[in-house]
Amino acid sequence: MMVAKINPRSGQRRLFFWLAISVGILLGGGWLTSLGIGDWYRGLNFPPFQPPGWVFSPAWVLILSLLAVATWKITDVNGQANGAWFGAAMLLYGAQVILNAGWSLLFFALKRPDFAFGEIILLDLILVLMVVTYFRISKSAGLMLLPYLAWLLFATTINGWIVLNNPAFGH
């Protein structure tokens, strides 16, 4: 039986790569958010269940750190990528990055929570598919995405409430 040699540095580099992408997502999302935080945002009606603003940054740091580790885990299972599921996982990962940034752009920078609501529903679907796909490659990687999915569904609820309870969006 032949055992594949795995270079631990290669694994460390891959982990650093996925963590760097998560940091980029955090920085980009923070920048897009900062474009919309102001009188417009403070003038919105918010749901009574919305957490205080300080909760969002640590929540996203945890979620995107778990995303990086989960993605690192599926990029090299037993020394090699996992066929067709791996390709699907990478497509879903890319879609998630784009939709995540798109939501911040729509909601904050363009001040369109109504458009952002439609977009976050698509992001919810992509993330459900990601959880299933990651889980097929690595159970622990799929489980690591569950906090992201829970937070995203909570954010979807907040976004929907804002759209329904602010007259500027036709309600």
Between 53 and 92, the more confident residue is 92
Q: What is the pTM of this model?
A: 0.85
Helices 56-75 and 8-36, packing angle to 10 deg: 150
Predicted local distance difference test score (pLDDT) of residue 82: 58
Q: What's the pLDDT score for residue 6?
A: 46
* Cα distances (Å, whole numbers) of residue 31 to 80, 91, 109, 126: 36, 25, 9, 23
Residues 55-109: tens digit of each pLDDT: 988 999 999 999 999 999 988 655 455 567 888 999 999 999 999 999 999 999 9
